[in-house]
Amino acid sequence: MTGTLVLAADPMLAGDVGLVEVLLTLAKVVVAFAFLLVAVMLMIWFERKLLGGMHQRFGPTIAGPFGILQTLADGVKLFFKEDLVPDRSDRFVFKLAPYLSLIPAFLAFAIVPLGGDFNNGGQVEWWGRTTYLQVADPPIGILLFLAMSSVAVYGVMLAGWSSGSKYPLLGSVRASAQMVSYEAALGLAVASIVLVTGTLSTHDMVVTQAAEGYLGVIPRWNVIVTGLVPFIVFMIAGTAELNRPPFDLVEAEQEQYSSIRFALFFLAEFMNTITMSAIIVTLFFGGPAGPVLVGELGGVNIAWAWGVVWFFLKLFVLLFCFVWMRATLPRFRYDQLMDLGWKALIPVALGWFLFLAALEMGRDRGWSEVTVTVVSLLVFAGAALLLARAVRSGRRSRDREAARADERSDPVEERA
């Protein structure tokens, strides 16, 4: 019977499953879902307010104090608008597509540890049951996130196709090509983390990062352990995966949608942003790991709550960075976007992954770290030179061919 449960790694679900376990799991699902929805609402307001500040204007001000209810007002408005379905559209797929972007965002959020005292393993005891403060801790852990981000491509792709019009289709093909390309870089950055922590489970990753740091003050977060490069790659690839600025080339697939369906897409975009930030916090910044400042309050053990506090603080900082990037960076052109993904991010992520693997190997065999680093850097320099040459010669031959094609096509045009 152990094979029947996806959640087999959760200590709570290891033995017999009774009513309390089911109720506890249900409660966790409801809390996580409610949190995500409220967070999306606040995130939309936060982004607009912050962008307004950075653009030297006010942003939303009317609905509620500081305009905090603006999203609610927009939601109500969109809800009562007429729901248009284009005439030539594929009705079922057209209606299915928004959910295909929304549901993966929530499912990926399920593996994020939200709290717990990670100085003591991160477990909490509620109603006599030991559990983690996360909806699920499957053995494949972070792979679930990658699987969900690859499923999310369907939402974009089918939305464009099902509308039955040419331009949304072109837009969605571009957007899905972008998402598929950047998934590779995303996966390589995740692989570095898996290599360093030696586990796929998000819970165990946080436990590893909660261990004793360096010099007593620097935490053992993966962003430091893996040497910053995977984090930068993940951040850029993640932004591209979300189709957020500066990689927001495609908004057209949404233009075919009206009313509540547009709201669903909008919701999905922000929900994906929050999930991505939560995943980054988990992977690189130790998730809920942090010091417990006040262990007990009125005789009640509240050590787990500090995990929640640290998690939200880190999440907040990352969300701020996402908005900041949007306000600062100009939009990319499509070919620049593909160049960045394939010719910069993937080689860098792959090279850094191999470097980390070499370091790990050297530690096992007792090689000197300096030698490993120097040799790796030399190999990198060689590989980078080769790649640069390949890219240059590729571009030159493409230019030559284009010139020749121009010469040839000219007389054809005259004849016509």
Residues that bind other proteins (CB under 8 A): 1-4, 6, 8, 90, 93, 138-140, 143-144, 146-147, 150-151, 153-154, 157-158, 161, 169, 173, 176-177, 180, 183, 200, 401, 404-405, 408-409, 412
- Name the minimum Å distance from CB 194 to other proteins: 10
> With b meaning 16 or more CB within 10 Å and e meaning fewer, what string describes 119-158?
beebbbeeeeeebbbbbbbbeebbebbbebbbebbbbbbb
**Cβ-based nearer residue to other proteins, 146 or 344:** 146
Whole-angstrom distance, CA of residue 52 vs CA of residue 337: 27
**Cβ-based nearer residue to other proteins, 2 or 56:** 2
- Name the minimum Å distance from CB 200 to other proteins: 7
Whole-angstrom distance, CA of residue 175 vs CA of residue 240: 9
Whole-angstrom distance, CA of residue 257 vs CA of residue 291: 47
- Name the minimum Å distance from CB 320 to other proteins: 30
Task: Quickly list DSSP for 294-342.
Answer: --EETTEE-HHHHHHHHHHHHHHHHHHHHHHHHHHSPPPPHHHHHHIII
**Cβ-based nearer residue to other proteins, 94 or 322:** 94
**Cβ-based nearer residue to other proteins, 73 or 93:** 93
Whole-angstrom distance, CA of residue 369 vs CA of residue 66: 54
**Cβ-based nearer residue to other proteins, 87 or 212:** 87
* 234: DSSP letter: H
**Cβ-based nearer residue to other proteins, 117 or 183:** 183
Whole-angstrom distance, CA of residue 372 vs CA of residue 360: 10
Distances (CA, A) of 280 to 141, 188, 314: 14, 14, 10
Whole-angstrom distance, CA of residue 242 vs CA of residue 168: 18
Whole-angstrom distance, CA of residue 296 vs CA of residue 150: 43
**Cβ-based nearer residue to other proteins, 51 or 177:** 177
Whole-angstrom distance, CA of residue 398 vs CA of residue 389: 14
- Name the minimum Å distance from CB 160 to other proteins: 8
Whole-angstrom distance, CA of residue 137 vs CA of residue 331: 37
- Name the minimum Å distance from CB 374 to other proteins: 27
- Name the minimum Å distance from CB 248 to other proteins: 21
- Name the minimum Å distance from CB 400 to other proteins: 10
Whole-angstrom distance, CA of residue 59 vs CA of residue 266: 18
Give first-to-last CA distance, the chain, whole Å.
74
Strand ranges for 109-240 from DSSP E: 123-126, 129-132
- Name the minimum Å distance from CB 34 to other proteins: 27
- Name the minimum Å distance from CB 393 to other proteins: 12
**Cβ-based nearer residue to other proteins, 54 or 194:** 194
**Cβ-based nearer residue to other proteins, 3 or 128:** 3
**Cβ-based nearer residue to other proteins, 71 or 134:** 134
- Name the minimum Å distance from CB 260 to other proteins: 23
Q: Which single residue is written with the structure tokens 């990926």?
A: 108
Residue 132 φ/ψ, nearest 5 degrees: -105, 155
Query: What percentage of the chain's residues is helix, strand, coil (to nearest 5)?
Result: 70, 5, 25
Rg of the chain (C-alpha set): 24
CB proximity list for 414: less than 8 A, separation 6 or greater? none
**Cβ-based nearer residue to other proteins, 82 or 407:** 407
